[in-house]
């Protein structure tokens, strides 16, 4: 039937989305396999939330000056039936497309709130642990009220769970702006994620009152090239002048760290110090620090 043909053509087209030099795609075994994997993940989603098969991992953020842990980012992983971890890159884009992502984002937010509360009750030092939000989460009805309600019921200050939204979301999605402003008004800290990953512009930093900008790995990888270093130096200077603090993401080498320290970058997140780790390992790292 024509409808099936059309669906298959669309599925094939999806595999070359944003690859502007490629104009032909085939509906083949690989496409079928991916579709089956996506279907399986969608039908397993609800029970995975119930059974808590989604695990929150933590990647520490280190002070560039003292090399101590001063914060962390919560990153989701899915523990599959075979016990293996599925990285977010394999399911976040799917759940963004089919509309399931707000449920997952809220799940992570709740988990992090509860974890912060536990640390508070145990008398542990509280460092901010940020969460990532997709566009659909922010645009959901009563989103800010809902998140404030969760933080209030758990009994933590919103400021200990900063919210990361990507630069492209802040720029392209004007509809996101009023919700983000409400978040700030309610005491959340707003972090601009992945700055420099697309067609970035310094003007995007003026759209909302971000407390922190996170330099994307693709910018950090420029370190070592004269033009790249100058670009990063000026971006950092501009952000600092505007009162924002800077986190460098994807820092993997000593050379990158030294350069970032020399230009006054505030915090470092990357494999050089630590990859994302389970909660247990994160606590070990905190004890060592």
- Note the residues at the interface with Mg ion (CB under 5 A): 132, 164, 193-194, 249
CB of 124 to ligand C2E, least distance (A): 23
Applying CB under 6 A, among 21, 89, 226, 227 the residue interacting with ligand C2E is: 89
Considering only 5-13, 18-26, 84-92, 256-264, which stretch makes contact with ligand C2E by CB under 6 A?
84-92
Of 38 and 239, which has the nearer Cβ to Mg ion? Answer: 239
CB of 278 to ligand C2E, least distance (A): 13
- 247 is an interface residue for ligand C2E by CB under 6 A: no
Of 38 and 249, which has the nearer Cβ to Mg ion? Answer: 249
Applying CB under 6 A, among 188, 194, 215, 247 the residue interacting with ligand C2E is: 194
Q: What track of x and - describes contact with ligand C2E for positions 257 through 276 (by CB under 6 A)?
A: ------------xxx----x
Task: Give the chain as a DSSP string.
Answer: -HHHHHHHHHHHHHTTTT-TT-------HHHHHHHHHHHHHHHHHHHHHHTT-EEEEEEEEEETTT--EEEEEEEEEEE-TTSPEEPGGGTHHHHHHHT-HHHHHHHHHHHHHHHHHHHHHTTPPP--EEEE--HHHHTSTTHHHHHHHHHHHHT--GGGS-EEEEHHHHHH-GGGHHHHHHHHHTT--EEEEEETSSS--GGGGGTS--SEEEE-HHHHTTTTSHHHHHHHHHHHHHHHHTT-EEEEES--SHHHHHHHHHTT--EEESTTT---B-HHHHHHHHHH-
- 238 is an interface residue for ligand C2E by CB under 6 A: no
- 158 is an interface residue for ligand C2E by CB under 6 A: no
Q: Quote the distance between the C-alpha of residue 272 and its chain's center.
A: 19
CB of 4 to Mg ion, least distance (A): 39
Considering only 129-137, 139-147, 205-213, 222-230, which stretch makes contact with ligand C2E by CB under 6 A?
129-137
In the complex, which residues of this chain contact ligand C2E (CB under 6 A)? 59, 75-76, 87-89, 92, 101, 105, 108, 132-134, 164, 193-194, 217, 249-252, 269-271, 276
């Amino acid at each position: 039937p024509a409808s099936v043909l059309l669906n298959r053509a669309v599925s094939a087209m999806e595999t070359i989305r944003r690859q502007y030099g490629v104009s032909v795609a085939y509906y083949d075994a690989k496409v079928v396999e991916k579709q089956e994997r996506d279907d399986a993940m969608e039908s397993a989603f609800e029970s995975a939330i119930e059974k808590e098969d989604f695990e929150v991992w933590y990647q520490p953020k280190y002070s560039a000056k003292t090399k101590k842990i001063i914060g962390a980012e919560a990153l989701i992983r899915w523990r599959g039936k075979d016990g293996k971890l599925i990285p977010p890159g394999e399911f976040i884009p799917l759940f963004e497309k089919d509309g399931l992502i707000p449920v997952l984002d809220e799940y992570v937010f709740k988990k992090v709130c509860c974890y912060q509360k536990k640390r508070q009750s145990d008398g542990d030092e509280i460092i901010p642990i940020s969460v990532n939000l997709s566009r659909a989460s922010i645009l959901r009805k009563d989103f800010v009220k809902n998140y404030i309600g969760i933080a209030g019921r758990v009994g933590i200050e919103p400021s200990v769970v900063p919210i990361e939204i990507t630069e492209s979301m802040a720029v392209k999605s004007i509809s996101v702006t009023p919700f983000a402003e409400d978040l700030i008004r309610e005491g959340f800290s707003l972090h601009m994620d992945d700055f420099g990953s697309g067609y970035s512009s310094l003007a995007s930093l003026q759209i909302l009152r971000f407390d922190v900008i996170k330099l994307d790995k693709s910018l950090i990888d420029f370190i070592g090239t004269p033009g790249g270093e100058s670009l990063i130096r000026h971006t950092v200077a501009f952000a600092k002048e505007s009162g924002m603090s800077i986190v460098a993401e994807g820092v993997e080498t000593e050379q990158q760290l030294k350069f970032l320290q020399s230009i006054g970058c505030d915090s470092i997140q990357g494999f050089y110090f630590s990859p994302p780790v389970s909660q247990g390992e994160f606590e070990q790292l905190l004890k060592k620090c």
